[in-house]
Structures are given as structure tokens and as C-alpha cells.
Homo-oligomer: A and B are copies of this chain.
Amino acid sequence: MRADVHPFIAAAPDDVEGLARALRDGCIAAADIVAIIGKTEGNGARNDFTRTMATHAFTRLLAGELASSERDVEQGVMLSFSGGSEGVITPHYLVCTKTGTESRSEPATGKRLALAQARTRAFDATETGTIVMVRETAAAVRRALGELHVSPDDVHLVHIKAALPSVVVGTASPPHCTMAYARAASALGVAVALGEVDGDALTDDAIGTRLDLYSRVANVSAKPGLCVSEILVFANSLHWDSPRRIHHAVMRDIIDIEPVRALLAGAGLSTCGQLAPDQTRRIRAIFAKSDADPTHVIRGYRHTMWTDEDFSDMRYSRCVVGGVLAALTGTTAIYVSTRAEHMGPSGGGPVAVIVDDE
């Protein structure tokens, strides 16, 4: 099996031309696509329609290519778009593919990028954001690990589009059926599956409150209306073939570049300062989570991201993390999404980077 990630710059939220050309040219086969993950240029909030626009455009393209229904595309391919390309962040999308059916015979140069999809069972509104969601998410992640034959240490990113089912009209909304709790429970599910957090000791009370319990590799967004959580596990495996590897780090706050420098060093990229252009070219994809520190303080000094009511803290924190990672790596194609409950420590967040072989 061979996994790959293909980055494309988007000229607009519904610009699918890059992928369309790659499909026409035979660089990518539509049937190999397991996920398309992208940043669009909306505000990332409720009135951000750019995510829907992108989803529709890619669904339509793939349905045409695969001669299948749009519904089948939605079932088979994870389409995950995050709004908000603040500051230097360039709107872009990452096409994740899996090719072939057999294991690699001889692992010449070690572990390589491997991908596995998983889906939870459907949740109802009362389960969402609770320990039930933690457990079901953990079970789904474990299934993906089993499929990949990798250990938890080999997992560097678990990207989740978390279920947030609609509440039945006329029914009171359960208190945990919110975007925040859906993200929190999903991230804890990843942490439990990977042994980062002890699942047996975990109770509902911890969800959204015990922020010292976290995953170092979860990257979760919640999608209103979705009943099943969609999961994509990124690992390195001896049994897969790929010209890429994935690495991860955890920032303790949104200007904490040292762990990211260590990540890059681990990938063979010299990072005393900014990567040189030939090194930047080896960066295939960057995933991060951001948050404006809820204490209103970073490095001892007050910040105003929460009190500035003309611009949301979410947009500010993405702008900062995007700028900081761009300054370090030399590329502005950075997938940063906000709200990182149980994903890295409070005020910080995980980073994953996919790097080409030399």
C-alpha cells in the first residue's frame, strides 16, 4: 500500500481546478482519494459558507469522475474544510490518497506514511459530547490502528470530523450536545485509544474541564448535522510505501516554536531559523490547532484576543499560528484550525508535518 498527500492552492472556495487537472493528467486516480482536507477563506464561524461551497464543488467533481452519486462520494471520501485563512495563510487543500493492495516487501528506508479511515457508529444528541462518544471514538481509532498494524507511537495525526447530530425539534438540547463538547470527547477518544489518557479512570466530568488530559496528535472539528464521526489516522509504518513521512510536536502556547524546530530536526530539516527554499520544498503539509490562551495572558503579558469584540479570538489565534509556522518553515500553506480542547495543553496545540524524502 502506498499513501500520499497532494497539496493544491485554491483561488477561491470552489476552485477545484488543481485536482481536476491532476485527475485529467493521471497524476491522481479518483478512486484512490480517501480525504480532501482544506482551508477556505471564510471566517470559520456559523456564517461561513465557504466550507459548504468547497464541499459541494469537490463532491460534484468526484461524483463526475467516479460516475457515482454525490451521496456515495460523501460516504466514501472525507471532505473536511476549515474556514479561516487569516494573515499569511494561503487557502489550499490536501488530497490524501491510498494506492495498491499489497504490503511492501522490503522496508528499505524505514517507516513510511500510512493512512487509515474509520467511522464511528451514529450518535444521537444525548450521547454527543459524553463518555459514550469518547469510547466509540477510541474504538474506531483502535480499529484504524489494527488495520495499519502500527503501534500508538507511530501515530502522528488523527484528523476527525466529529458528529454533532441535530437536536429533534421541540426537544431540549442536551447540555453536552455542543461543538465544544463534541470536539472535547472526540479528542479524549483519540487520547484513550493511543494510551495518552487512562480511559478507565475517565468520566463525563472530565470532558471539557480536565484540560491537563490531552492528546498530542488529535485534530478535531465538529460538524453540525453530522451523525457519524469521520476519522483519518496518519501514521508511519514499516509496511507502507510512500515518499513521505509524518512527524508531530506539541506547542505549549501559540508562539512556542521550539517543539516544532525539534520536529523539523527529526525530519532531517535544519531549523536554526527559517528553512532554506530547498528544505521548504520538502514540506508537504502542515496541520495545527490554535487557541487564544483563555487566561488572557501569554508569557506573562496580557493579550487582547478575547476582549477585542471586533474580531474573534479564533481568527486571531489562527493568524498567529499561521504566521509563526510560516516564518519557521517558509511556506504559507498551513492548515490551522481553532479550538483545541484536550488537543495539547490549554492555550497551545498539536502540530503535524508531512515531509518528503530527500
Listed in ascending order, the chain A residues whose CB lies under 8 Å from chain B are 9, 11-14, 41-43, 45-50, 52-53, 56, 85-92, 254-258, 261, 271-274, 298-299, 301-305, 307-312, 315-317, 319-324, 326-328, 330-333
Contacts and interface: CB of A to CB of B under 8 A. Distances in A.
A162 to B, nearest CB: 20
Contacts of A46: 307, 309
A192 to B, nearest CB: 30
Contacts of A321: 323
Given A49-B50, A309-B45, A302 B255 contact: no
B271 A273 contact: yes
A170 to B, nearest CB: 14
A303 B89 contact: yes
Given A257-B274, A304-B41, A316-B319, A12 B49 contact: yes
Given A46-B309, A87-B305, A311-B311, 14 more contacts: A13-B49, A41-B307, A47-B307, A49-B53, A53-B53, A86-B308, A87-B323, A257-B328, A271-B272, A298-B332, A299-B330, A301-B331, A319-B319, A320-B323
Contacts of A52: 12, 14, 53
Contacts of A49: 12-14, 42, 49-50, 53
A42 to B, nearest CB: 7
Chain A contact residues: over half helix, strand or loop, or mixed? loop
A266 to B, nearest CB: 14
A332 B299 contact: yes
A41 B301 CA distance: 14
A76 B255 CA distance: 38
Given A14-B56, A46-B309, A310-B47, A304 B85 contact: yes
Contact of A257 (B90, B327, B333): B327
A319 B87 contact: yes
Contacts of A271: 272-273
A331 to B, nearest CB: 7
A88 B322 CA distance: 13
Contacts of A256: 274, 327
Nearest to A41: B304
Contacts of A42: 49
5 contacts: A88-B254, A91-B304, A261-B272, A271-B273, A321-B323
Contacts of A261: 272-273
A268 to B, nearest CB: 16
Nearest to A277: B299
Contacts of A87: 303, 305, 316-317, 319-320, 323
Contacts of A319: 86-87, 316, 319-320, 323
